[in-house]
């Protein structure tokens, strides 16, 4: 753990794991409220989750990105990439890799003849 983050966590009384659990709880509450479900119903309906190697819940990341009306990106999860079409059909939002996002932004900037290309 980064020493600055460790000091901050000790001052706040929370470790990263605790903060992530709080964040995950807030997102579950938000998603359950958005879909009109209880937390138990939400978990039952969306039990097929995609977890990356570190245990991060990519489904919740996807919900957050949809809430912000921007495409999600995934990097190290080939299983999720294989199911992009199924997720697009289910939610109506594209899932793009970071590489695809960079290419898309470069195309947009090249149309504008911008020197900011990535």
Q: Which two tokens stand for residue 109?
A: 């900037």
The pTM of this model reads 0.31
**Contacts of 42 by beta carbon, 8 Å cutoff, 6+ apart:** 28, 31, 32, 35
pLDDT of residue 33: 72
The string of DSSP codes covering 15-60 is -HHHHHHHHHHHHHHHHHHHHT--HHHHHHHT----B-TT--BHHH
pLDDT tens digits, the chain, 118 residues: what are they?
A: 567 666 666 666 655 566 666 766 776 777 667 666 676 766 665 555 566 556 666 666 666 665 555 545 555 555 555 566 666 676 666 666 666 767 777 787 788 776 665 5
> What's the pLDDT score for residue 66?
57
């Amino acid at each position: 753990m980064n020493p600055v983050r460790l000091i901050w966590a000790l001052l706040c009384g929370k470790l990263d794991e605790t903060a992530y659990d709080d964040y995950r709880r807030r997102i579950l509450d938000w998603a359950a409220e958005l879909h009109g479900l209880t937390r138990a119903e939400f978990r039952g309906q969306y039990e097929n989750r995609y977890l990356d190697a570190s245990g991060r819940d990519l489904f919740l990341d996807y919900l957050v990105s949809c809430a912000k009306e921007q495409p999600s990106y995934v990097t190290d999860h080939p299983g999720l990439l294989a199911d992009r079409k199924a997720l697009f059909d289910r939610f109506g939002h594209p899932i793009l890799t970071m590489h695809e996002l960079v290419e898309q932004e470069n195309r947009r900037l090249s149309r504008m003849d911008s020197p900011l290309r990535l």
